[in-house]
Amino acid sequence: MDSPDGQKICKKYLSTIEKLCEAFSISTACRDYRNEFSKAYKILYKEGSLCYLTEILDSAQEGFPYLWVNGEKYVFSKDVLDSGSKLLTVFFKMQHLLRNSYGKACQENLNTTSEAIQSEIVAILEEFDISWAKFE
């Protein structure tokens, strides 16, 4: 995510994850906390949408213990840092599971049912969404 191309690819990937969540009708975490966001921050979000933003994932990846905003230092709690770490772990777990699920679905002599594959995908998407909301 350190280059414009990386940002673009990540944005597209997160958009695809949003579409998967819709397609599988996953249960998503409540986003009411977004009502407390500043007006400037709310502009980034489309109402009624999951809005997985690359900036959030990048922040989780960086894991900085503080952030300077308009000359003011904001120190993150251990809980926030742990939530970011958890989000990143679940993100990588989700990538791995989706890649493996695709491979399983393409096998001619499939050992697992499509329902089992779908169940795994739904579970990881829900875990990702919960982790996302907790960190966001």
Bridge partner list, 67: 74
The per-residue pLDDT for 40 is 84
CA distances from 17 to 53, 89, 136 (A): 11, 16, 16
CA separation for the pair 65, 80 (Å, rounded): 9
Bridge partner list, 66: 75
Please write the tens of the pLDDT for every residue from 11-40: 999 999 999 999 999 999 999 999 999 888
Please write the tens of the pLDDT for every residue from 62-71: 999 998 878 8
Percentage of the residues of the chain whose pLDDT score is greater than 70? 97
User: Which pTM value belongs to this model?
Assistant: 0.89
Q: Where are the domains of the chain?
A: 4-135
pLDDT classification of 94: cutoffs 50, 70, 90: very high
